[in-house]
Structure 1
Amino acid sequence: MFEDPGQPSCPSGHDTTASGLSWVLYNLARHPEHQERCRQEVRELLRDREPTEIEWDDLAQLPFLTMCIKESLRLHPPVPMVSRHCTQDVVLPDGRVIPKGVICLINILGTHHNPAVWPDPEVYDPSRFDPENIKEWSPLAFIPFSAGPRNCIGQTFAMTEMKVVLALTLLRFHILPDDTEPRRKVEMILRAEGGLWLRLEPLEAGQQ
């Protein structure tokens, strides 16, 4: 039905992962209760060893931190839209037809903020991604890495990288918001106008 029109499904993995990490740090700075719960989850996981690195088997044992990352990717998808080429006519629910051969823009940011899909879409609520709450979803309700056969080939690596960086950062710092509320800057990669500013306070040795 759809195929990639010729460009990659997502831009550079460095830029997209940096965007994803920046926005999840911002969201946790704005919601210290979620930040502290993530920190305690990481501390509990690493309680019997030196908190200097995260191992592969650890990644599946950080469920709340993963929920926080996914909710941030919903609110601030690093790639706000992708394009697809229709390989056949597409009939919409209201009867209108997208003709074969048309290149469509898939608005990921718009889908993630659609109140018909996500109640209170501007609210940062990691519990949306609790396993009990995702059973009724459409598989295309949450598509930060696109979807289908041309989805982002690096999505597993990106999620792994974000989990590791976020976990080790939270073990060392309190993340605090800046006084300036950022505005989304929608380009090929979602950024903040003027940059995304946060404050980091080192944790005391006994708090790590």
Structure 2
Amino acid sequence: MFEHISSDTTASGLSWILYHLSRHPEYQERCRQEVRELLKDREPIEIEWDDLAKLPFLTMCIKESLRLHPPVPAITRRCTQDMVLPDGRVIPKGVSCHISIIGIHHNPTVWPDPEVYDPFRFDPENSKERSPLAFIPFSAGPRNCIGQTFATAEMKVVLALTLLRFRVLPDRIEPRRKPEMVMRAEGGLWLRLESLGANPQ
């Protein structure tokens, strides 16, 4: 069950990232150029673990897509102690709380124009004053996703190799979110791929 959910969430994340890049060709091209620069004079197959930290703009694009379309839209947690809210009300120990990750990620007091895809929200300069709990695509605390590092690395590799070989183009139909256990699109998320040729470098 865990392996199935893990694969589904990574696939959901990748699908929505490619969707957003298809809608923003200027960001897509910047990601492509970043990957090309990283891998110049090397074969793409030679992407290594240390390379993944050298793709800052691609990482910003991934994070902004995970903000807009978190692979797991909501989670449930049981309080292990009484929690006092800012208005003084108390959530008693033992109560189960439904936490809307998608709601947190679309909170306009934290994210101005929350429906706008803007990777620069995650520029280090723009993130300094933001609470780390404003962005929790993998949950947070001791029960966060144990596979988040692997999932993020997997997404970076797949995206890098895809963008080197293809231009991703949007479909005519705008997808509608279908938040279930895993974030999906009603009727599927359709994109078109245009080959960049045998030697995309």
TM-score (norm 1): 0.93
Q: How far off is 1:207 after superposition?
A: 3.6
Aligned counterpart in structure 2 of residue 183 of structure 1, from 170, 176, 179 = 176
Which residue identity lines up with residue 33 of structure 1 in the other structure? E
Please tell me whether residue 117 in structure 1 is matched to residue 110 in structure 2. yes
Written as runs of structure 1 = structure 2, the 5 A alignment for 1:48-197 is: 48-197=41-190
Q: Alpha-carbon deviations, 1:60-116, whole Å to 9, x = none?
A: 110000000000000000000111001222111111111221100111000000101
Separation in 2, partners of 1:201, 1:11: 30
- Which residue of 2 is the match for residue 4 of structure 1? none
Separation in 2, partners of 1:72, 1:137: 17
- Which residue of 2 is the match for residue 30 of structure 1? 23
Q: How far off is 1:11 after superposition?
A: 7.1
Separation in 2, partners of 1:9, 1:133: 35
Separation in 1, partners of 2:124, 2:110: 17
Which has more helix, going by share of residues? 2
Q: Runs of at least 4 residues of structure 1 off by over 4 A?
A: 8-11
Separation in 2, partners of 1:82, 1:51: 37
Q: Can you give the 5+ residue segments of structure 2 that lack an aligned partner in the other structure? A: none
Which residue identity lines up with residue 52 of structure 1 in the other structure? I
- Which residue of 1 is the match for residue 39 of structure 2? 46
Q: Can you give the 5+ residue segments of structure 1 that lack an aligned partner in the other structure? A: 1-7
Identity of matched residues, %: 80
- Which residue of 2 is the match for residue 3 of structure 1? none
Q: How far off is 1:132 after superposition?
A: 1.0
Which residue identity lines up with residue 37 of structure 2 in the other structure? E
Which residue identity lines up with residue 58 of structure 2 in the other structure? L
TM-score (norm 2): 0.96
Q: Alpha-carbon deviations, 1:139-173, whole Å to 9, x = none?
A: 10000000001100000000000000000000000
Separation in 2, partners of 1:26, 1:205: 24
Cα RMSD (Å): 1.6
Separation in 1, partners of 2:13, 2:3: 13
